[in-house]
Amino acid sequence: MCPDYEILSAYMDGEIENPWKEKIKTHLQECSACREKLSAFQNLHTMLQEDTEPDYNPSMYRVKERLESSPWALKKKTLPFWKKRLLIPVPIAAIAATVLICLGTVISVTVANLNPAKTNGTAVVVEKKTTQEDELATIIKLMENTDFNNEVTIQLPTVSRFSISGEPQFIRAKDINRSK
């Protein structure tokens, strides 16, 4: 009985143990069909060892070019700078947010110290200059100026002889509609 292809291949590779190895060797001396199979295995083995690996680079480049030029190929879109995603690790983002909050606090405190303001209910009153009633004409002239950007606070007397109805308003003379 002849050994199958797997046993002959293992014999050629030297994977068969000694008592079986001797039996296959004596069988090969007697059986010409098994010798031809073993010879074919040896020829295949030498052919595979002599053959070098082909150069696949030209064919890979051709396939890549065909895929890139095909209509269904995914093309990279170049996004403008403001639409690109920025990936920042969470600890660095937390540190940056903390620094920005601290910087904003320092700036707001510094600005508040440069421009002292008193809060009176819901309105903020900034006192720049205190004037008397006789300087009212000067205030009106200042407010008629088109470049006037200062705040004016008018403090009414605490004791009055009239009743207040509504909110007091200070209107420039040129803003009054005189359509009577």
> In order of start, what are the domains of the chain with their CATH numbers?
1-76 (1.10.10.1320)
3-state secondary structure of 96: helix
Amino acid at 176: I
Residues 11 and 38: beta-carbon distance below 8 Å: yes
Better pLDDT: 121 or 107: 107
H/E element holding 125?
strand 123-125
Q: Which tens digits make up the pLDDT trace of 115-171?
A: 554 444 434 444 445 555 556 667 677 677 656 666 666 666 677 666 667 776 777
CA-CA distance, 30 to 62, in Å (whole number)?
54
pTM: 0.30
pLDDT at 40 over 80: yes
pLDDT at 16 over 60: yes
Q: Torsion angle of alpha carbons 136, 141, 143, 146, nearest 10°?
A: 180
